[in-house]
Each structure stands twice: as C-alpha cells, then as structure tokens.
Amino acid sequence: MTLVRVLFYLMSFIVLASAVFVASTRNLVRSVFIFFITLFALAGLYVLALADFVAITQIVIYVGGILVLILFAFMLSGKETLNTLQQHNSKLLSIGKLPALLLAGLFLIVMLNIVWKADADNLPWIKQAIATNAVITPNALVTDNIGINLMTRYLLPFEAVSILLMIALVGAAHLSRKEATG
C-alpha cells in the first residue's frame, strides 16, 4: 500500500466522518466548525487527484467565503433563535422524515450500483488517454501561471474584492453589536 493510497483513505474517512457529524449534530455552531474540517479534507483529496487549482479554489471560495458567510448569519441571529433551533425535539425516524429517508436510500442504492458496475480501468476514454500518452503529470506550471496572473494582471480586481469583503466584515460586526439601553 503506497503513501498516496493511505492518504486517500485517511482523507476520505475524515471527509465522511465529519460530514456525518455535521448532518447529525444538534449544535449548529459545532456543525459549522466541523464543516471547516470537511472542506479542508475535501481540498486534500483534490490535491491527491492532482487538481491543485480546484483545491485552492475550494479553500478560498468555500472555506474563505461561504463559511464566513454562515458564521455571519450566526452572529446576526439572536441567541433566542439559536436556542430555539437547538431545542427542537426530533427523532431519527418520524413520518415527516420518511420521504427524505427514502430519497437518501434510493440515492445510496444508485451510487453503490454505479460503483459496483463501473470498471474504471477498462473505460474506453481512459484506455485512449493512456495509449496516446495524454495523461496529466504532476507539475506546477498551471498553478504557477494562475498565481502569477492573480498577482500581476488581475491584482486590482483581486484587491477590490478583498476590500469589499473587508467592508462586509466590518458592517456585519457593527450590525451584530448590541446597543446599550438607557
């Protein structure tokens, strides 16, 4: 067993375990922070698949943007709202959750069927790519070019977006501040 395979299984376990924890926990704040771990481990899987740009995009957009937006939503929502959401008494199996459980079960059956029937080593387009030597080799040219373009040609739009995000951060902090009453 190679190191890459061990890392793949480790990252896959982290992604699946943290995703199950996010979906099953009642504490919303913990769920958001564990979601950080899920997205970082998913970025690690992208790195193992030699998709560096997708991994960087995963971290910058989802971890840096979407999860900060979710944290702002928690900051702006009142403590009473969060307590109400956490106090919601829900059973694992109830009649209201039956359609969602059936749909999830059907998706699981379809996914397992595809995995068992797919023979990834004998797909025609993979055989053709190997025969014509059109296989992706790990090199840093693509990521280097993206980094150079972001820091030279697209520096002004990149910085403008960062200033807008900083303004949004300051505005959210100001809105979430409690005013002193009389």
Q: What is the pLDDT of residue 139?
A: 67
Q: What is the pLDDT of residues 119-161, one digit of tens each?
A: 777 778 878 888 888 776 666 677 777 778 777 888 888 788 8
Percent of the chain predicted with pLDDT > 90: 14
Q: What is the pTM of this model?
A: 0.57
Neighbours of 68 (CB within 10 A): 15
Q: HSE on the CB side for 174, CA within 13 Å?
A: 6
Rg of the chain taking only CA atoms, in angstroms: 22
**What is the spatial distance between Cα 126 and Cα 108, in angstroms, rounded to a whole number?**
26
